[in-house]
Structure 1
Amino acid sequence: FREPLGVLVDSIEREANLSSLGRIIVRTRLVSALATRLRVEDLLRRHPEILEIELGPVLVIAGLQRTGTTLLHRLLAADPRTRAVLSWEALAPVPVPGETPGPHGWPAARVRRARRAQRALEYLSPEFFAIHPVEYDQPEEDVLLLDMSFMSQSPEATLWVPTYARWLETRDHTPAYAYLRRLMQLLSWQRPAQRWVLKSPHHMEHLDVVLRVFPGATVIQTHRDPSRTMPSFCSMVCHGAGIFSDTVDARALSEHWVRKVRRMVQRSLDVRATHGDSSFVDVLYEDLLADPIAQLRRIYQRAGLRFDDQAERAARELGRRQVRHRYGRHRYRLEDFGLSEDRIERELGAYRQRHGIPREPRDDAEPPAHDGRRDGHHGGGPGGVGHDGPVRALMTGVIDLLRRKDTLRPMGDHERLDGKTALVTGANSGLGRAVAIDLARRGAHVLMACRGGHPEAGQEVARASGSDRVEMLRVDLADLRSVDALGSTLRDRGRPLDIAIFNAGLMPARSRRSPQGFEVMFAVHFLSSFVLVRRMLADGILRPSTTSGERPRIVFVSSQTHRSAPPIDFDHFGAYTPYGLRGGLAAYGASKNHLTTYATELSRRLNPGPVVRVGVHALCPGPVATNIARSAPAWAAPALRGLMQRVFRSPEEAAKAVVLLAAGRAMEGRTGVYLHMLRETQASERARDPDQGRRLWAATEALLERCARAES
C-alpha cells in the first residue's frame, strides 16, 4: 500500500488545491485508513480463523454511475440471507476497544460515529444527498473498503488528482481486491451471512480481477442512456469536489470522466469477450424501475439462487419504505459541464447500441418555481469566502483586520442628531443594537425594527443610550406580509424617516424557506429591503430632497462575500435549493450580492441628475463578534463564539462605519458610497454594472408580482 499512498499524497499536494476544510478532511481520512490497516492486522493475528471463513456466492453490481445501482444494491441486500457492506462498517470495519468482538458483539460506538459523519456530510452539502443518499445504516459501496489499499476511484471522484488517476490505470489491482476479500471475511466473522453483494462502478475497470479473486461470482451490469447518466454523474462529482476544494473546474472534471467512463465500458466489454456472458446479467434501468421483482428473479436464477417468498417479501417491504427524491430533486444541465448529447453519443454510442439501451427524453432543464438549482461555482478560478467553509471565513476575517487601513474619521462624540428619526432593522442584538445605541445617544429618535420576542431590547438600548426616544417595532423580515405590515405602521405614524439602516442578517445552519417559499437569506437580506424601501418611498416615509441636511439616507449592511458570489442567475431567480454549511456560506454571499447590486441601482434611480436627493450607501462592517453563530450547529457554535470574541471586532467598533454613512457630515450630498470598515472603496464591478442592476430590478418586480398573485 505504500506506493499507491505515496502517489496519491503527491498528486493531492500538487493538483488537488484543497481548501482549509478539505485538507483537514482528507488528512483525517488517510490517517484513518492507515489506522484501520493496523487494527485489521492486529485482529487477524489474534483471530487467524477469520481467514478460513467462506464468503459463499458473491453478486457484484458493476454498472456505470447513475444507472440504478443503489436501488438494486439495496433490493438485493434486503434479503436477510445476503450480506452487504453497511455504511458504518465501511467507515470502521474493525471492532473498537471496549466492544465485544465477534458475531455477538454490538458495535454501538462505530454506529454512532457513522451517524455523526452522515449528519456532518448532510450539513456541509445536503444537495449531495439529492444526488447520492448516504445513510449510516444502509448498504454502501465497497469501494470504501478498497480505499484501505489506496487503490480505488474514490480520490478521483472527489478530488482533482489526474496524475494519481493515470498511474492507477497502469497497475495490477489484484492485491487491492485480495485485501477487499480479507475485509469481507473480517466483516462476515462479525455478522455472518450466506452470500455477499458488492456494488461499485469501480469494478467495471477490473472485472478480470473480480472474477479471479471471487471465482464463480455473478456480475450484474446495469445500463441506462449515457446522455442521462454522464451529466448526472458529473454533477455529483462537482458537488463532492466542492466539499474539498474551492476551485472546482466542472469542464475539466467532465472531460476526465468522459474518458474514464469510455475506458470502463471498453474494459468491461473486453472481459466479457474473453470470459463469455455466462457470469453476467444485464439489467436495463427502465426495466428495473418498471418491475424490480422481475429483475431480482432473473438475477437469482442466473446466479443459481432460489428467489423464494422470503426474498420477495423483503424486497417489496424495502420498496414500500423507499421514498424517491427524499432529499430533494437532483437538477443538472448538460451545458454546465461542456457536454452535448452528440458528444456523448460519439463517445458511448457503441456501448448503448451493444446493450440495446433506449434513449431517454431530456428532463433536466426547468425546475419548478421556488425549487431550482443552486448558483454553483464551477469555474476554474478561486471561489473566495462566499463559497468557502468556516475555517477560511474566519481566516479571511483575521486578514481583513491585519490589513485594515482606515481612511475615514468616524463621527465625533459631540456631533448630534436631535430631531432626526432613524429606523434600524435587526437592532435587538449585535451590530444593530450598537448602531441603535449610538444614534439614540446622539439624540435621534430610534425605531428598532425587530422580530417579536425581544421586548427587553428596546429597554436595554434606552438604558445604555440614556434616551427616552427609543421605540420597538415588530417585524419578521423573512415574511413579506410582516414587512408590508411594518410599512403600514410607519405610514400611520405620519412622520418621515431621515435615516433607514437595513442591518438585519442571519446565516442559518441549514437551508430553510421563508413563509412565501423563498430561501430565507434571500428574503431577509435582499427581498425585504426591496419591498420596504419601495413601500416607504410610495407612502412618503422617505422623501427625496435637494435641501442640505434634509436629504434622507439609506444604508445597507452588506459583506465582502458579495465579491465572490457567482453572477445572479436570472433564469432561476428566487428559486429555493437546500444547502448546508458550505452551501450556506455561498447562499449568504449570493444574498449580499443581490443586496449590493440593488443598492447601487437604487442610488442611480433615486438620483438621476447631478444633485443628490437621497443618499444610498452600502458597507461591509468587517469581521464583527456578533451572535450570528447562534445558527451554527451545536458542535460548531461554541468554537465560533469563542473565536469571534477573541479575534473579531466589537459591535461598538464596527458600528462607527454604519453611523458615519447614516449621519456623518462627510457623506452629506453624496450617494453610492461603499465602505469596507472605515475605508472607502468600491463594490464589485458586477454589483456596479447598470445592466445587472436593471435586470435585478425587473426580475424582482416580476417575482413580487407572481408572489402577490399566488398569495391572493
Structure 2
Amino acid sequence: MSAKTIRINDLGNPTLSELQRQAIANAPEVTMDETAVLNEARNATGLSDFGAEDFRERLRIWLQSFDEDHDLGPLGRASLFGDAVRYAGNRLRLEDLLKRHPEIIDEPIDRPIIIAGLPRSGTTYLVNILAADRRLRSMTLWESMEPVPAADDKVIVPGEDPRYTRTREAWGQFEQILPLMPAMHEMAPDHVHEDIELQALDFSTYLPEWLARPYRWREYYHTHDQTPHYAYGKKVLQALTWLQGPNRWLMKSPPHMENLLPLRATYPDATFVITHRDPLAVLQSAITMIAYGDRIRRQRIDLKELADYWIERIEGLLRACVRDRDSMPKAQTIDVLFHEYMADQKSVIRRIYAMADMPMTKDAERHIDLHLSANPRGRHGRVIYDLENDFGVDIPALRERFGFYYDRFPVQQEIV
C-alpha cells in the first residue's frame, strides 16, 4: 500500500483546530528570568548545586533571545521556559549523582560510532537502524529528556520507567495537537534520539533555534568554542553508562557537522559517520516542519524570515563541515551520500561496521532486518514540500550560494 500524500496549504496563515486553540489558551504566562528558571528547577528536584556557574551567562542569553522574539506566542514562550527548567533540573540531578559517585568520571566510553549530518538528511533513520544492534548503547527519546532518574521517582505504570511514562504522555499530547508531525519526524519515546540533549545541560546547543528565532543566541553560539560543552556532555554520557551499560555508544546530532573538531577532541577513538544530502531538500523539509509547529508557538508566522534564518543556519553548518572535514582522521571517518544510502542501505551499513571494526554478526543482521521491515520510510504519510511556492525561495540562486558544498561533496540534486 502506498503512503498517503499530505499537502499543508496553510503554513503562513494557519487554520487552528479547537485542540490547538485550547492548548494556546491554557499556556501559563512566564517571565524569561534566570532566577525564575533556576528556582523552578530547584523546587522540582529538591537540589541546589548546579556545578560550575558559567552556564548562567548562556542561560541569560537564551532567555533574552526569547524575549526579543516578539512573535512568540504564549505557548511558544511557555514551552521554551519549560525546556530551560528541564535542562536545569537535569543538570542538578547529574551534578548530584557525580558528587555521590565520583568514580563516574573514570567510566570509559569505548570507540563510539557518531553520526553527523544536516537535519533531515537521514540521520535519524540511520541511527535507529544501527541501534537495532544490541551490542551498541544508544539514547532513546525518553532517556534524553531526563537522563538521570530522580531518587524518589514513583512508578506510574507497573514495569515502566516513570521517565518513559512521562515522555510517552507528553509526546502523545503533542502529536494530538499537531497530528501531521509524525509524517515529518516521529517522536516515539523508545526511538533513538539526538545526543544534542547532552550539551543542553550546559546550555550550549542549537535546540532553541528549532522553536524560536533566537538571533542573539545564534551569534553567541557561533563565536564560542564548543569543546568545553562537548566535554560536559561526555560527563552525561559517562553517567548514563554507569547507570546502564554497555559502554560502546551510538550517537547522532546535526550540530556535530559544524563541531567536528570539538567532537574529535572529546571522542578521539570514535568512528565518525558524516551524512550528506542536497541542502535544498534538507532546507525545505526542515522549515516546513518548523512552520507547521509554529502555528501553536507563534502569533505571526513570517515564512520569508523563517527561510532566511535557516538558509543562513544551514550554510553555517555546511561551511564548517567543508572547512574541517579534511582534518578528521581518515581511518575513522566515512562520508555517506543520501542517495547512495537510500539505494543500498545494507551496503552502507556494512561499510560503517567495517570502519568501526565491528563484525556483522547474524544476530545483528537479523535485528537490523527486523527494524527495516517494521519501519519503512513514509509509513505515516508522505509530506509534499515546496520550497519555491511556500517560502518564496529562488532555487537557482540558492543552489549557487551552496555551490561550495556541491563542489566538495557529490550529493544528488533533488530539487529542480
TM-score (normalizing by structure 1):
0.49
Q: Which has the larger radius of gyration?
A: 1
Which residue number corresponds to residue 48 of structure 2? none
Which SS does the other structure have where 1:222 is aligned?
A: strand
> Quick check: 1:78–1:318 contact (8 Å CA) kept in 2?
yes
Separation in structure 2 between the aligned mates of residue 329 and residue 75 of structure 1, nearest angstrom = 20
2:230 aligned with 1:172: no
Which residue number corresponds to residue 22 of structure 2? none
- Deviations along 1:600-619, one digit per CA (max 9) or x if unpaired, are xxxxxxxxxxxxxxxxxxxx
- Deviations along 1:473-496, one digit per CA (max 9) or x if unpaired, are xxxxxxxxxxxxxxxxxxxxxxxx
> Quick check: 1:151–1:168 contact (8 Å CA) kept in 2?
yes
Which residue number corresponds to residue 72 of structure 1? 126
Separation in structure 2 between the aligned mates of residue 190 and residue 107 of structure 1, nearest angstrom = 16
Separation in structure 2 between the aligned mates of residue 26 and residue 198 of structure 1, nearest angstrom = 24
Shift of 1:276: 5.1
Q: Structure 2 residue aligned with 1:313, among 342, 366, 372?
A: 366
Q: Which amino acid aligns with 2:384?
A: R
Which SS does the other structure have where 1:193 is aligned?
A: coil
> Quick check: 1:293–1:315 contact (8 Å CA) kept in 2?
no
Which SS does the other structure have where 2:251 is aligned?
A: strand
Q: Structure 2 residue aligned with 1:211, among 264, 273, 276?
A: 264
Question: Structure 1 residues 191, 16: CA separation in 2 closer, same or farther (over 3 Å shift)?
Answer: farther
Question: Structure 1 residues 220, 239: CA separation in 2 closer, same or farther (over 3 Å shift)?
Answer: same
2:289 aligned with 1:265: no
Separation in structure 2 between the aligned mates of residue 185 and residue 107 of structure 1, nearest angstrom = 23
Which residue number corresponds to residue 296 of structure 1? 349
Shift of 1:302: 1.4
Mean CA deviation greater in 273-282 or 38-47: 273-282
2:64 aligned with 1:33: no
> Quick check: 1:226–1:344 contact (8 Å CA) kept in 2?
no
**What are the residue-to-residue correspondences of 1:444-459 with 2, within 5 Å?**
none
Which SS does the other structure have where 1:70 is aligned?
A: helix
Shift of 1:252: 1.0
- The count of residues paired between Structure 1 and Structure 2 equals 359
**What are the residue-to-residue correspondences of 1:354-393 with 2, within 5 Å?**
354-360=408-414
Shift of 1:228: 1.7
2:335 aligned with 1:282: yes
- Deviations along 1:168-215, one digit per CA (max 9) or x if unpaired, are 100111221111101111111222024111111111111100000111
Shift of 1:237: 2.3
> Quick check: 2:339–2:411 contact (8 Å CA) kept in 1?
no
Which residue number corresponds to residue 200 of structure 1? 253
> Quick check: 2:66–2:77 contact (8 Å CA) kept in 1?
no
Shift of 1:139: 0.2
Which residue number corresponds to residue 96 of structure 1? 150
Question: Structure 1 residues 110, 16: CA separation in 2 closer, same or farther (over 3 Å shift)?
Answer: farther
Q: Structure 1 residue aligned with 2:386, among 319, 325, 333?
A: 333
Which SS does the other structure have where 1:126 is aligned?
A: coil
**What are the residue-to-residue correspondences of 1:522-561 with 2, within 5 Å?**
none
Q: Which amino acid aligns with 1:35?
A: G
Separation in structure 2 between the aligned mates of residue 259 and residue 139 of structure 1, nearest angstrom = 28
> Quick check: 1:84–1:139 contact (8 Å CA) kept in 2?
yes
| Structure 1 segments unaligned to the other structure (5+ residues) | 101-105, 363-712
Mean CA deviation greater in 328-337 or 34-43: 328-337
Which residue number corresponds to residue 236 of structure 2? 183
2:71 aligned with 1:17: yes
Which residue number corresponds to residue 108 of structure 2? 54
- Deviations along 1:271-297, one digit per CA (max 9) or x if unpaired, are 123345433211111222222111111
Shift of 1:135: 0.8
Shift of 1:107: 6.0
> Quick check: 2:284–2:385 contact (8 Å CA) kept in 1?
yes
Q: Which amino acid aligns with 2:266?
A: V
Q: Structure 2 residue aligned with 1:5, among 43, 59, 77?
A: 59
> Quick check: 1:62–1:200 contact (8 Å CA) kept in 2?
yes
Q: Structure 2 residue aligned with 1:143, among 196, 200, 207?
A: 196
- Deviations along 1:569-615, one digit per CA (max 9) or x if unpaired, are xxxxxxxxxxxxxxxxxxxxxxxxxxxxxxxxxxxxxxxxxxxxxxx
Separation in structure 1 between the aligned mates of residue 106 and residue 91 of structure 2, nearest angstrom = 19
- Deviations along 1:72-113, one digit per CA (max 9) or x if unpaired, are 11111111011111100111111123359xxxxx76211100
2:182 aligned with 1:129: yes
Which residue number corresponds to residue 247 of structure 1? 300
Separation in structure 2 between the aligned mates of residue 142 and residue 305 of structure 1, nearest angstrom = 22
Shift of 1:327: 2.5
Separation in structure 2 between the aligned mates of residue 239 and residue 16 of structure 1, nearest angstrom = 19
Shift of 1:43: 1.1
> Quick check: 1:231–1:339 contact (8 Å CA) kept in 2?
no
Which residue number corresponds to residue 583 of structure 1? none
Q: Structure 2 residue aligned with 1:236, among 277, 289, 310?
A: 289
- Deviations along 1:138-175, one digit per CA (max 9) or x if unpaired, are 10111122222111111112111111111110011122
> Quick check: 1:99–1:107 contact (8 Å CA) kept in 2?
no
Shift of 1:361: 5.5
**What are the residue-to-residue correspondences of 1:650-665 with 2, within 5 Å?**
none
**What are the residue-to-residue correspondences of 1:691-702 with 2, within 5 Å?**
none
Moved over 6 A (4+): none
Which residue number corresponds to residue 17 of structure 2? none
> Quick check: 1:130–1:328 contact (8 Å CA) kept in 2?
yes
Separation in structure 1 between the aligned mates of residue 223 and residue 415 of structure 2, nearest angstrom = 37
Which SS does the other structure have where 2:398 is aligned?
A: helix
Separation in structure 2 between the aligned mates of residue 359 and residue 248 of structure 1, nearest angstrom = 29
Separation in structure 2 between the aligned mates of residue 176 and residue 152 of structure 1, nearest angstrom = 9
2:163 aligned with 1:110: yes
- Greater relative CO, 1 or 2 (CA 8 Å, sep 6+): 2
Question: Structure 1 residues 248, 277: CA separation in 2 closer, same or farther (over 3 Å shift)?
Answer: farther
Question: Structure 1 residues 166, 324: CA separation in 2 closer, same or farther (over 3 Å shift)?
Answer: same
Q: Which amino acid aligns with 1:119?
A: G
Separation in structure 1 between the aligned mates of residue 160 and residue 106 of structure 2, nearest angstrom = 23
- Deviations along 1:629-686, one digit per CA (max 9) or x if unpaired, are xxxxxxxxxxxxxxxxxxxxxxxxxxxxxxxxxxxxxxxxxxxxxxxxxxxxxxxxxx
> Quick check: 1:87–1:136 contact (8 Å CA) kept in 2?
yes
Which SS does the other structure have where 1:215 is aligned?
A: coil
Which residue number corresponds to residue 407 of structure 2? 353
Which SS does the other structure have where 1:283 is aligned?
A: strand
Separation in structure 2 between the aligned mates of residue 123 and residue 6 of structure 1, nearest angstrom = 32
> Quick check: 2:210–2:290 contact (8 Å CA) kept in 1?
yes
Which residue number corresponds to residue 28 of structure 2? none
> Quick check: 1:157–1:240 contact (8 Å CA) kept in 2?
no
Which residue number corresponds to residue 86 of structure 1? 140
Shift of 1:343: 2.2
Separation in structure 2 between the aligned mates of residue 313 and residue 242 of structure 1, nearest angstrom = 42
2:270 aligned with 1:223: no
> Quick check: 2:93–2:148 contact (8 Å CA) kept in 1?
yes
Separation in structure 2 between the aligned mates of residue 21 and residue 256 of structure 1, nearest angstrom = 21
Q: Which amino acid aligns with 2:144?
A: A
2:184 aligned with 1:155: no
Which SS does the other structure have where 2:117 is aligned?
A: coil
